[in-house]
Amino acid sequence: MRLMIKGGRIIDPVNSIDLVGDILVEDGLVQEISPAIRTKKAEVLDATGKIVCPGFIDMHVHLREPGFEYKEDIASGTRAAAVGGLTTVCCMPNTNPVIDNGAVAAFVCSRARQVGVVNVFPIGSITKKQQGTEISEMADLVQAGCVAVSDDGRPVMNAEIMRRALEYSRMFDIPVISHCEDLNLSEDGQMHEGFYSTLYGLKGIPAAAEEVMVARDILLAETTKSRVHFAHISTRGSVELIKMAKRKGLAVTCEVTPHHLTLTDEMVRDYDPDTKVNPPLRSREDVKALRQGLIEGVIDCIVTDHAPHEVEAKDCEYNLASCGISGLETAVAVILNDLVNSGIVDISDVVRLMSVNPANILKLDRGNLAPGKVADVTILDLELERRVEPSQFLSKGKNNPFKGRVLKGWPWATIVRGRLVAYNGELVV
């Protein structure tokens, strides 16, 4: 199979490429990049006026399978990822059973090969059944295909357990992804603790609930000389702590979500359960600090933290609603609309944040378009305007706070291993 991507602006930071030209793909691999490739027998995809970049990688997704297929499954989740411009997703272990052993991890990989349309890499749990008391068999998890470990959805409250997990992870050179939340401080909280939680009459979750755990795990990373990746950071204090850790040369990285970069706690005013997420939407000052963290390079990745739910889990009172946003199909568009088209970040920075850096952190052979590399490609149209319509999502989860908004800038085509899987908002496989 040959595919010619013609006339797009090709951005590949790894290989210092930023040019208008063509890419020739053959048998799933990049064959050639040039300002003009002579016409060869190939299917042609005219990308004139579009941005062509290494496939976007989402290293924080909840695909729910096995056990919670009524919320999402690998088939529906990977199709949502494809139309959302993502070529690779890494799925969190809070399934039923938990991905805490090689057999469950192998099931996820096998199922993804059978029904998935994008690459899927599982993330194993730090502790057995995510109970925080006994470390999972990391060797089995890594051998079965896991690229990291995390108890995401639950923090590892016991510092000694976290220390031992970090030490163990060094044997396999994988990151430990930390869900930073002190449950004693966040218990029963519904939104960010501040002016608006008082105004709306909802119990607040203080910024300190996240920051004390970020500080703890930075200290543990320094003690163990291990790699820690901080999931979905949301506060100014977390950014400052991670900045200091990086200045000390510690092996720490972090991620942020589109909703934490663009929405504030004020949005809870309508008590829309789609705005309920963990960590909660924070203050305007926190959003400003997160954006500055992107600009300064403190924050390494943008992820969706895609957390789909069935209608009943969200169609209820705010304090009873489940936390989470179904974000695979809107994440890229939100970033393009709110950050790129508004001039806050450059499109080449987005490619680093959503492709190059996740690949480096997880040591995936992705994130660049050099000849001989796997042809995972995301093509963007910065001028395309479309309304967010959750009823049309391919994800089973329709819980999205951006519903009804018209966004400018959307994924235009998604190519996985040289195969076109999504085009102009539609699945083509």
| Tokens matching residue 242 | 């991670």
Catalytic residue from among 22, 305, 376, 381: 305
Cα-Cα-Cα-Cα dihedral sign, residues 90, 94, 96, 98: positive
Known active-site residue 305: yes
Strand spans (E) along 222-296: 228-230, 252-256
C-alpha triplet 57, 63, 69: angle, nearest 5°: 160
From the list 86, 58, 63, the residue with the least C-alpha distance to 74 is: 63
Q: How many Å separate Cα 52 from the centre of its chain?
A: 20
DSSP state of 374: B
Burial 328-348 (b: 16+ CB within 10 A, else e): bbbbbbbbbbbbbeeeebebb
Q: Please name the residue that has the structure tokens 């996820």.
A: 108
Strand partners, 124: 149
DSSP helix/strand/coil, 204: strand
Q: To the nearest 10°, report the CA torsion of 47, 48, 50, 56.
A: 30
Structure tokens at 337: 């609309």
Query: Around Cβ 23, how many Cβ atoms within 10 Å?
Result: 25
Sheet containing strand 149-150, edge to edge, reads: 149-150, 176-178, 228-230, 252-256, 301-302
Nearest in space to 60 (alpha carbons), one of 97, 98, 86:
86
User: How far is it, in rounded angstroms, from Cα 286 to Cα 263?
Assistant: 10
Residues identified as active-site: 305
